[in-house]
Amino acid sequence: MAPRSRRRRHKKPPSSVAPVVVTPPAIVTPMPLARSEPGPSIDMLGFFSLEDNVPGLSHLILQKLNMKSYEEYKLVLDGGTPVSGFGYRCLQEMFQKMEDTFRFCAHCRALPSGLSDSKVLRHCKRCRNVYYCGPECQRSDWPAHRKVCQELRLVAVDRFMEWLLVTGDFVPPSGPWSWPTEVVQGWDTWFSMRCLQLDATLDAVLSSQAMTTLWANVGRPRPDPGVLQGSLKRLLTDALSRPLTLGFGLRALGINVGKVGGSTVHVIGASHAETFLTRPGDYDELGYMFPGHLGFHIIMVGVDVAADFSQSPSASLPEPGTIQLSSHRGLYHDFWEEQVETGKIPHPDLVVAFHPGFHASADLMEAWLPTLLLLRDYEIPTMITVYSHQELAASLQILADLDTHITAYGANPFASLKPEQVYSNPNKQPVYCSTYYIMFLGSSCQLDKRQLEEKVDDGV
């Protein structure tokens, strides 16, 4: 909770600030959480949007996963063992079931179960990523689909290639940076620095048995090597975007990573996206970004943190040159009161929220409000990331209404280059994770609303 002597009454954002819903794509999104959960999540709202756009889609997803209920899905997400027949007999069945969850008409939203015997869903031959129940729907949809068809072709390839990251058959190149940190300002310079190592890694993956096995089971022709190489590079940026964005925030805010006892970073609003398949080595690149650092302790805090992600936070300091990952399941302001305010955990040097989504609904804003006020009143250096320019504008407006001191915002040099499809609205413009950032520190925003609007309208 915010310090009582400094807590302020919240002034609700004016009704003119319309929520902008940006639903992160996923093959499966959670159904509503039980009442015992500490608060709403963007994953839960993502599930509702599936039903709003394509009625019956959530049932189809669970059916293709061989699950009987959301509770089983949540159990698997938390590392448990489901009671029904979850799982697949072979890779081919898995990829087929996965692809079946995308089978609905992009124009009329019809699912296979709602089609007559004379109709069948066929994918667009150009992108192989959206489906239509017939030529009439495809022709009617073409004006909208043509704007995103090329990007969705990349989405379709990346969807299969991502399996190599899950299995560990594609491990992004790593190791100490050969260039000074200040020279590596974004992906262009990062790729140049890693070029020889990266080329060797990509060649090995392209010629691997894992790649051959993958494309022998997906039910589609294997793309050309150049297409596959491009996909691996996009997936690499997606895997490294979060640790390097953390590093960008530390660098931009001038935080001392050489202090005795190490540096503490809280990733708040964390969900399965940050924790489900995260392994300790995934944040090594952050360490290489700061040679000579005295240790990082990164704590993931959120209502949807995977239960088996890591150990609970401890007061033990990280060893110099190491990165310690831990998690806490719950709302951040509760975590602060229980762990930070009592002295069990050090105060954070930086707080980061990847796609908090508080602009998306009143329920999420209500859950985020105590945390935002806490960060403002304790003057904690904070960075959030958003998907789009529209979301950036809405988030800036909300933060301005809360009287936060916005110190910087703009395009993130380490944004993911992997296009993300809005799952239940396939012809919506794809987005890219952490495209923009906002940094704030304390209160008394230096930019009034009119200046903010002018800056956003002029582009970032």
The predicted structure's pLDDT at residue 16: 32
Which tokens belong to 241?
A: 């975007």
Report how far residue 94's alpha carbon sits from residue 99's, in angstroms, rounded to the nearest whole number.
9
Give the DSSP letter string of 309-358.
SSPPP-SPPPPTT-EEEEEEES-HHHHIIIIITTTSSPPPSEEEEES--T
How much of the chain is helix, strand and coil, in % rounded to 5? 40, 10, 45
CATH classification of 242-457, choosing from 3.40.50.10860, 3.10.200.10, 3.30.70.920, 3.40.50.150? 3.40.50.150
Tokens representing residue 213 in the block: 């096995």
Query: Backbone dihedral region of 434: left (phi > 0), alpha (psi from -120 to 50 degrees) or beta?
Result: left
- Residue among 102, 105, 222, 208 nearest 157 (CA): 222
How far apart CA 268 and CA 351 sit, in angstroms, is: 7
Cβ-contact 442, 404 below 8 angstroms: yes
Q: Which residues of the chain have pLDDT under 70?
A: 1-52, 61, 69-71, 73-88, 118, 308, 310-311, 444-460
Pairing of strands 296-302, 350-354: unpaired
Q: How many CA atoms lie within 13 A of 193 on its CB side?
A: 20
E-strand ranges in 345-403 read 350-354, 382-386
Distance CA 443, CA 293 (A): 30
pLDDT of residue 39: 57
399 half-sphere exposure, CB direction, 13 A CA radius: 33
- Cβ neighbours of residue 316 closer than 8 Å, sequence gap 6 or more: none
Give me the torsion for CA of 444, 457, 391, 382, rounded to 10°.
-30
Instruction: Give the domain ranges of the chain.
Output: 42-167, 242-457
Which residues on neighbouring strands pair with residue 301, listed in sequence order?
A: 268, 328
**Residue keyed to tokens 């009034």:** 448
Q: How far apart are CA 25 and CA 448, in angstroms?
A: 34
Within a 10 A sphere around the Cβ of 38, how many other Cβ atoms?
Answer: 14
Render pLDDT for 395-428 as a digit per residue (tens, 0 to 9): 999 999 999 999 999 999 999 999 998 877 889 9
Query: Half-sphere exposure (CA, 13 Å, Cβ side) for 114?
Result: 14
Q: What is the pLDDT of residue 112?
A: 87
Measured CA to CA, the distance from residue 276 to residue 115 in angstroms comes to 36
Q: What pTM was computed for the model?
A: 0.82
Residue 73, amino acid? Y
pLDDT reported for residue 73: 66
For tokens 């560990």, name the residue. Answer: 168
Q: Provide the greatest CA pair distance for the chain.
A: 71
Joined tokens for residue 234: 């996009």
172: helix, strand or coil:
coil
**Is the separation of the CB atoms in 443 and 405 below 8 Å?**
yes
What is residue 89's predicted lDDT score, i.e. its pLDDT?
Answer: 72
